[in-house]
Structure 1
Amino acid sequence: MKIHRPHLLKHSLNVVNRVRQTASIAGLSALRVAKGEKPDANLLKETFEQLGTTYIKIGQFIASTPSLFPREYVEAFQGFLDQTTPLSYKYIEQVLQAELAVDGHTLTDKFAHIDPQPLASASIAQVHAARLHNGDEVVLKVQKPNVETIMQTDLGVLHGVTKLLELLMPSMKFASIAPIIDEIRLRMLAETDFVAEAQNIRDFQQFLAMTDNARVVAPKVYDDLTTKRVLTMSRLHGVSMIDENAMRQYCTDPAQVMADTLNTWFASLMLCNSFHADLHAGNLMLLTDGRIGFIDFGIVGKLKAESWRACMGMMQALQDNDYQAMAHYMIDMEMTHGRSQVDIAALADDLQRMMQTIMAEDIAFTSGVPFNNKEQADELNKMMLEIVDVGKRHGIHFPRDFALLTKQLLYFDRFMRTLAPDMDMFSDSRVAILGESTHVSEPNLISKA
C-alpha cells in the first residue's frame, strides 16, 4: 500500500491546486460583474479561456450543440473549435516516459526519432511525428499532463454546484442543468481514453472491410505502443480536401472524391458501430496514393437507423419547402417524447415563417451568389439555430447525437463548396445518403511516373 501513497499525495495536491485556481479565476469574473460588467456570453467565454482544458472543451460542446444552449452562447464559443496553443515537448515527453518507458525500456528503445515540434495541438492532446526502428513513420497522439485529473476535478465541482443550485432554486430544474453537465462529462472523459479511440478506428476499419471499400483508409494502430494516454498510429501523407489545386496532383476528379467520402460516411451511419463526428479540414485528407484518409476518431456518434432516415427526410422536405412533411419527420426522428402533444399544423406554420424570414433577411441566400466557406457555414448554422428555437417552442428535443451529425453535415457543406459547388448532397446521383448503396468508385489516380 505504501507504494501508492506518493502518487495519491501528488494527485490530492493537484486536485487542491486546481480547485484553488478555479476559485481564483471565478472570483475575478464575479468581481467584474459586481463592478457593473454585464454577465453575458462573452464574459463567460473569457472566463472559460482562463480556466483552460475542461472549460475549453465545454465551450466546444456548447458551440457544437445548439439544441441545448441559448443562441448567443453557441455563437460566442465558435472560436473554441480552433486549435489551442501547443505545450513544450518536455511536458509531452513526461507523459511518453510514464506510459511507454516501462519494464526497463526507454523511449529510444521504442522510437528511432520523435519530432519535438507538434503537428497539431488541441485542448486534450498534442500530436507529434515519430519513426520506429523498423522505419515505419508514425504519429503519436499524446494526452497533455494531468488532463484527466483536471477534468475530473472541474466536472465534479460543476456537477456539485449545479445540484446545489437546483436544490436552492427548484425552478432551475426545468433547465436540466445537471443532466447537461453529465452529458458533457461522458463525452469529455471518453475523449481521454485513447484505448477506446483505438477501438473506434478498428470498428471503422472493420466496416470498410465488410463493405469492400478500398477507396478510404484509416490509420493503423500500433497496439503495443498505445495506452489510455498515448495513441500510436501509422502516419498518412496527403493534402487537405479544401485545397482543390493540391488535390489535382493525386486525382482527376475532386468532385468524385467528395462523393466517395460522402458515400462512405453515410454508409457508416447505418453499418458501423459509430460514425466519425469530427471530419473537419484537419481530419479528412486525400492521400498521395489517391485514397481518402479519415483520421482522429476521438469524437464519434451513434444514431439509430430510423432516426437517420427521418433526418434525411426532414432535410429533403426542407429543400422541397414541404413544411408539413418536415414537421412529421421531426417527430419521427424521436425529437419529442409526446408525439400526440405536438400540433403538427402549428409547427409546420412556424417552420414556414422561419424560412421565409431567413430568406427575406439574407438576399444572398436566394440570389444564387456563391458563399465563401465561412459565410455558408454561418448561414447553415443560423438556419439550424432557428429550427432548434422553433422546436423548443413545441416541446421538441433532439436525439442525443443529432447535433454531432448536423455539425458534420456543416463540415461536408464546406468541402462541397470548394470541390463540387454544383453537387447537391441530397439529390446527386453519385451520393447514396440512406446507405442503399455502399459503392465507391475505383481510385481515379494521376500517374506519378
Structure 2
Amino acid sequence: MQRPHLLRHTFNVVNRVRQTASVAGLSALRVAKGEKPDAYLLKETFEQLGTTYIKIGQFIASTPSLFPRAYVEAFQDCLDQTTPLSYSYIERVLKEELEVDGQRLDDLFADIDPTPLASASIAQVHAARLHNGDDVVLKVQKPNVETIMQTDLGVLHAVTKLLEVMMPSMKFASIAPIIDEIRLRMLAETDFISESKNIADFQQFLAMSGNNKVVAPKVYDALTTKRVLTMSRLYGVSMVDTHAMRQYCDDPAQVMTDTLNTWFASLMLCNSFHADLHAGNLMLLTDGRIGFLDFGIVGQLKAESWRACLTMVQALQDNNYPVMAQAMVDMEMTHARHEVNIKALTADLERMMQSIMAEDRAFTSGVPFNSKEQADELNKMMLEIVFIGKAHGIHFPRDFALLTKQLLYFDRFMRTLAPDMDMFSDGRVQMLGQDAGSQAL
C-alpha cells in the first residue's frame, strides 16, 4: 500500500528539482548576457520558483537584522497570492485527511462551497457548514506543499555546502543558521496543528484575563489535521471602514483601545503574540466583539526585551532620541554594551528621523494607514533603525522586527479609528503587559 505513495513522492521530488534547475538556469543565462545579479533579479527568480522561495522572500523582507538592506528592500513587494486551485484538488486533500474510520465528507459536512474565500501559496480557504448548522471555514493545505518545501530547503542546504567548498572566503557557513531559522518558521506554517495550538494559547489567555471583548475562531479539533484546519466562521466588517463599523459599535476609538489593550497584555500573559495584525486579520464582528484572525505568524520575546522595545517606540513618538538610544542598548542582545557610544547613536537616530520626516510628509500627515506608500514608510523607518543599530554593534532579538513593525503599524492604524488618540499617553490604553510581566518574573 505504501509503494504508490512512495513512487508519487519520489516523482514529486524529482520534478521539483527539475523545475528549480530550469528557473535557476534561466536566471543564470540572464546574468551571462550581462544583466546585473542584484537583489531584484533574485526576487524575480524567487517569485518564479514559487511557494518556498516566496516565503523565503517574505522572511528576508521581515528580518532586516539578518539580511543586507538592499535585499530587505527588494523583497518588500514579494507577494503571497496565487491562482486558486480547482475544487477537485482541495476535495482530494480533504478526503485524504478527514475520511477516517469509514466516515465520508458528506457525513462530516452538510455543505462545502467550491469557490474559495482566499488562496495563498500554502493554503486555500473554503466556507462550509456542519450538519449541526455551524458555519465554518476550511483552511486546506495545497497539494505537495511540504514535499516542495522540504525539497527546496534540501537543495538550498546542498548549495550552501557546495559554496563553502568552492568559495570559503565568502564565509557561506554563516548562512546555515539563517536556513535553520527559515526551516523552523516555514515548516511550522505548514503544520496546522501548530497554528491550532497558537489559537488555543490565545483563547486560554483571553479566558485567564477575563477578556470578553475579543475572540479568536473556534477550532474543531476532530476536523483538524496537519493539512486541514477547520474553524468557526466569523462574520463582521473590516476595521479600516469606520462607516461600516458604526453599524456594530458606537465608538471606533474604543474598539481600537480594546484591541491595543488585548495585544499588549498578550505579550506577557500568552505563550506568543500575534505578529500579523493588519486590516485583513482584524475584524469587528456583528455582535460588537473584535475578531483576531490567522495565527500562522506569531512571535515570542523576553520580558526585558519587550520593555526596552516599548520604551524605544515611545521615545520615537516623543522624539526623545537619547532615551531611544539607551533602549536599543537595553534590548539585552548587545555584545560589549559598554562599548556602545550612546551620544553618537543618539545623533545618528536624530539625523535619521529628521531626514525621513523631511523627505516624506505622509509621516505626519494624519492620512489613514491604508496605502502602500505609508506601508513603505514603516518599512523604511524600521530598516533605518536596524541599520543604525547594527552600525553601533547592536544585535536585536530574533522577533524584534515582528514586534516593532506591529507597534508601528498600530500607530498608523489608529489614524483611521482614533486620530486623536496617542498610544502611549491616552489613559484608555493600559500597558497591562508591563505589570503582568513584572508579576511573572
Q: TM-score range by the shorter chain?
A: over 0.9
Counterpart CA distance in 1 for 2:3 and 2:363 is: 63
Alignment of 1:47-58 (within 5 A): 47-58=45-56
User: 2:343 corresponds to which residue?
Assistant: 345
Counterpart CA distance in 2 for 1:171 and 1:258 is: 52
Equivalent position amino acid for 1:181 in 2: I
Contact conserved, 1:136 with 1:234, CA < 8 A, in 2? yes
User: 2:439 corresponds to which residue?
Assistant: none
Q: How far 1:261 sits from its partner (Å)?
A: 0.4
Aligned pair in 2 of structure 1 residues 364, 104: CA closer, same or farther (>3 Å)?
closer
The more displaced of 63-72 and 220-229 is 63-72
User: 1:317 corresponds to which residue?
Assistant: 315
The more displaced of 159-168 and 20-29 is 159-168
1:52-74 superposed Cα distances (whole Å, 9 cap, x missing partner):
11011111112222222233322
Aligned pair in 2 of structure 1 residues 370, 295: CA closer, same or farther (>3 Å)?
closer
User: 2:224 corresponds to which residue?
Assistant: 226
Equivalent position amino acid for 2:48 in 1: Q
User: 1:443 corresponds to which residue?
Assistant: none
Alignment of 1:147-158 (within 5 A): 147-158=145-156
User: 2:430 corresponds to which residue?
Assistant: 432
Alignment of 1:257-276 (within 5 A): 257-276=255-274
Q: How far 1:123 sits from its partner (Å)?
A: 1.3
Give the secondary structure class of the aligned counterpart of 2:280. Answer: coil
Counterpart CA distance in 1 for 2:50 and 2:229 is: 23
User: 1:59 corresponds to which residue?
Assistant: 57
User: 2:78 corresponds to which residue?
Assistant: 80
Counterpart CA distance in 2 for 1:15 and 1:391 is: 42
User: 1:373 corresponds to which residue?
Assistant: 370
Q: Residue 243 of structure 1: which of 241, 244, 263 is its match? A: 241
User: 1:107 corresponds to which residue?
Assistant: 105
Counterpart CA distance in 1 for 2:347 and 2:122 is: 44
Q: How far 1:279 sits from its partner (Å)?
A: 1.3
Q: How far 1:146 sits from its partner (Å)?
A: 0.4
User: 1:213 corresponds to which residue?
Assistant: 211
Q: Residue 4 of structure 1: which of 2, 5, 21 is its match? A: 2
Counterpart CA distance in 2 for 1:68 and 1:426 is: 29
- How many correspondences in the alignment? 435
Q: Residue 120 of structure 1: which of 118, 121, 124 is its match? A: 118
Alignment of 1:147-226 (within 5 A): 147-173=145-171, 176-226=174-224
Contact conserved, 2:311 with 2:327, CA < 8 A, in 1? yes
Equivalent position amino acid for 2:314 in 1: Q
Contact conserved, 2:369 with 2:413, CA < 8 A, in 1? no
Matching of residue 130 in structure 1 with residue 116 in structure 2? no
Counterpart CA distance in 2 for 1:427 and 1:6 is: 63
Give the secondary structure class of the aligned counterpart of 2:126. Answer: strand
Q: How far 1:139 sits from its partner (Å)?
A: 0.5
Counterpart CA distance in 2 for 1:384 and 1:354 is: 11
Equivalent position amino acid for 1:370 in 2: V
- Gap regions ≥5 residues in structure 1: 439-449
1:63-120 superposed Cα distances (whole Å, 9 cap, x missing partner):
2222222333223222334533221111111110100112222111111100011111
Give the secondary structure class of the aligned counterpart of 2:433. Answer: coil
Equivalent position amino acid for 1:373 in 2: N
Contact conserved, 1:373 with 1:417, CA < 8 A, in 2? no
Contact conserved, 1:219 with 1:236, CA < 8 A, in 2? yes
Counterpart CA distance in 2 for 1:6 and 1:312 is: 54
Contact conserved, 2:312 with 2:328, CA < 8 A, in 1? yes
Give the secondary structure class of the aligned counterpart of 2:137. Answer: strand
Counterpart CA distance in 2 for 1:373 and 1:5 is: 52
TM-score by length of 2: 0.94
Give the secondary structure class of the aligned counterpart of 1:10. Answer: helix
Counterpart CA distance in 1 for 2:229 and 2:50 is: 23
Contact conserved, 2:80 with 2:121, CA < 8 A, in 1? no
Aligned pair in 2 of structure 1 residues 85, 206: CA closer, same or farther (>3 Å)?
same
Counterpart CA distance in 2 for 1:372 and 1:282 is: 13
1:246-277 superposed Cα distances (whole Å, 9 cap, x missing partner):
11100000011011001001100010011111
Counterpart CA distance in 2 for 1:370 and 1:232 is: 38
Contact conserved, 1:113 with 1:130, CA < 8 A, in 2? yes
Contact conserved, 1:163 with 1:178, CA < 8 A, in 2? no
Give the secondary structure class of the aligned counterpart of 1:233. Answer: strand
Give the secondary structure class of the aligned counterpart of 2:171. Answer: helix
Counterpart CA distance in 1 for 2:72 and 2:200 is: 33
User: 1:288 corresponds to which residue?
Assistant: 286
Aligned pair in 2 of structure 1 residues 135, 364: CA closer, same or farther (>3 Å)?
closer
The higher relative CO (CA closer than 8 Å, separation ≥ 6) is in: 1
TM-score by length of 1: 0.92
Counterpart CA distance in 2 for 1:232 and 1:306 is: 36
Q: How far 1:376 sits from its partner (Å)?
A: 2.9
- Gap regions ≥5 residues in structure 2: 437-441
Give the secondary structure class of the aligned counterpart of 2:78. Answer: helix
Counterpart CA distance in 2 for 1:437 and 1:99 is: 44
Equivalent position amino acid for 1:115 in 2: D
Q: Aligned-residue CA RMSD in angstroms?
A: 1.8
Give the secondary structure class of the aligned counterpart of 1:282. Answer: helix
Moved over 6 A (4+): none
Counterpart CA distance in 1 for 2:272 and 2:362 is: 36
